[in-house]
Amino acid sequence: MATGIGVAAIGSDTGGSVRIPANFCGVVGLKPSFGAIPLAGALYLSWSCDHAGPLTRTVSDARVMFEAMAHRGTAHATAPRAARLAVPHDWLASRLAPDVRDAFARLLDRLRAEGVHVESVPTPNLHLAWKHYSPIVRAEAAYVHRAALAAGGEGFSKMTLELLRLGQQVSAQDYIEAIQLREVVRQELRAILRHFDAIALPTAAVMPPARGQTEVEVADGARMSVREAVLGQTLPFNYAALPAITLPFDRIEGLPVGLQLVGEHDADGRLLALSEWLESRIREQGWFEPTPF
């Protein structure tokens, strides 16, 4: 879509594989509520975190794709007259690279000037998602591929095979603990969303890393793995089963930066309506110009 070779694409998103490439390419990526789009016929990686969703050039196109894929309408959902966005500043403070942090701060200032209510909210349990996501996904993936693993694992790349073997070693106690703590994270986010239209944060904590790069610099000169800096911004909402969308809002040295909005479970229509309104303001004000063809 970013280069004009297609109108839309469909991706799978277990931890961010729709939103992350959409973010880095300057297009829209939607991970709907868990279960909204049927996965019948798909090969699971993690049946409790897997989602399917569209990548498109605009939010309105994502809406059309969602309606077709989910077999449900969204015309009843409209954007709020005075949008309220919650920002998990305490969680973001140590995570964002300075250039992403500054671009996000500029966006929030611009949105406030447009009448959007932006408020910092505490998320003391959000870090649990990063800690307990991997045991779930690895254990479920090892189960899905148990026959292939029992036969020796031929055909998997070395890295994938290593991760699947780790999944075989996840104890029942660790898996159950991860499932139980998922509800703690889910309830924290849902409590926030009872008072706000969406949770807002950068889709990735950093700009696109270089090929082969394993670490990046984030706040106050700290180092973070590329995996956590990128995947850590998106996987909490697979873990919590909430809908999330990324849309481009700015550029840094010519490269797009994405805003991620997270909505209430099964309120995908409202999230899309809010995102359409925000996208219209971003484009009308010239904060982000799509790549011309």
The predicted-structure confidence for 255-285, as pLDDT tens digits, reads as follows: 999 999 999 999 999 999 999 999 999 999 9
Q: Tokens for 256, please give them.
A: 């797009």
Q: For residue 191, is it within any domain?
A: no
Look at residue 224 and tell me if it is in a domain. yes
CATH code, domain carrying 21 = 3.90.1300.10
| Total residues belonging to the chain | 293
Residue at 60 is within a domain: yes
d(CA 119, CA 9): 34
Whole-number Cα distances in Å, 207 to 44, 143, 162, 220, 254: 29, 34, 28, 16, 11
> pTM for the full model?
0.96
Domains of the chain: total? 1
- Whether 72 is in a domain gets the answer yes
Structure tokens at 107: 């966006």
pLDDT for the residue 81: 84
76 occurs within a structural domain: yes
Instruction: Give residue 34's domain range.
Output: 8-123+197-284
Residues of the chain with pLDDT under 50: none
Phi, psi of 243 (to 5 degrees): -70, 145
Enclosing H/E stretch for 117? strand 117-120
The verdict on residue 90 lying in a domain is yes
| Any domain includes 247 | yes
The sign of the dihedral angle between the CA atoms of 191, 101, 25, 222 is negative
Q: So what's the pLDDT on residue 4?
A: 82
pLDDT digits 0-9 by tens, 104-131: 999 999 999 999 999 999 999 999 999 9
Q: How far apart (Å, rounded) are the C-alpha atoms in residues 126 and 235?
A: 11
Is 230 within the bounds of a domain? yes
